[in-house]
Amino acid sequence: MKNVVLIGATGFVGSAILNELINRGHKVTAIVRDVEKLPKHANIIGIKEDITNIEAIAALAKGKDAVISAYNPGWANPRQYEETLENYPRIVEAAKKANVKRLLIVGGAGSLFVKPGLRLMDSGTLPEAWLPGVKSLGEFYLNTLIKEQNIDWIFLSPAANLGNLQP
């Protein structure tokens, strides 16, 4: 059994990750905005914490096997782009301070190439409303995370349309 921190465990992607972790028998410290949205399970510890609080996130991650982030400041948040770029470096810093073995970040399909030299986020095919979230995650990955050498990280780029993940 692994012992992990999951940031954003009640969101669309985060809740699917949470279910998978629990189904595989892992223990999860779920950092969320609203603990009441978490399912009741013996292997879930729900914590309401502000992810901008690097020291608090690091303390929660200390001794864990991994930090998984499905953080999204909210698709309706008018500062989604800015907050993504402000807060993901904080998540990385907290994971490094905690000395976790692995950091997994759920990004998006926007950073994937749809043909040579053209990434999905630059293709003009995505809805305008998605672009703040898509571009900010892509920029974080391409401009910041890719240069990070002091933690073992993975940036996951799922499909652009995940469909209904719930059974």
Find the CATH number of the domain harbouring 101.
3.40.50.720
Cα–Cα distance measured from residue 19 to residue 29, given in angstroms and rounded to the nearest whole number: 13
The helix/strand/coil state of 119 is: strand
The CB-side HSE value for 146 (13 A sphere, CA atoms) comes to: 9
pLDDT for 164 equals 57
Domain for residue 166, yes or no? no
Domain for residue 161, yes or no? no
Cα–Cα distance measured from residue 153 to residue 95, given in angstroms and rounded to the nearest whole number: 10
Domain for residue 28, yes or no? yes
Q: How many domains does the chain have?
A: 1
79 burial type by CB count under 10 A (0-12 exposed, 13-18 middle, 19+ buried)? exposed
Domain for residue 59, yes or no? yes
pLDDT for 166 equals 46
pLDDT for 167 equals 44
* Tens of pLDDT, residue by residue, the chain (167 residues): 799 999 999 998 999 999 999 999 999 999 999 999 999 999 999 999 999 999 999 999 999 999 999 999 998 899 999 999 999 999 999 999 999 999 999 988 888 889 999 989 899 998 888 889 999 999 999 999 999 999 999 999 887 676 654 44
Domain for residue 98, yes or no? yes
Domain for residue 136, yes or no? yes
Domain for residue 143, yes or no? yes
pTM: 0.91
Domain for residue 13, yes or no? yes
Q: Which domain holds residue 151?
A: 3-156
What backbone torsions phi and psi does residue 50 show, to the nearest 5 degrees? -80, 120
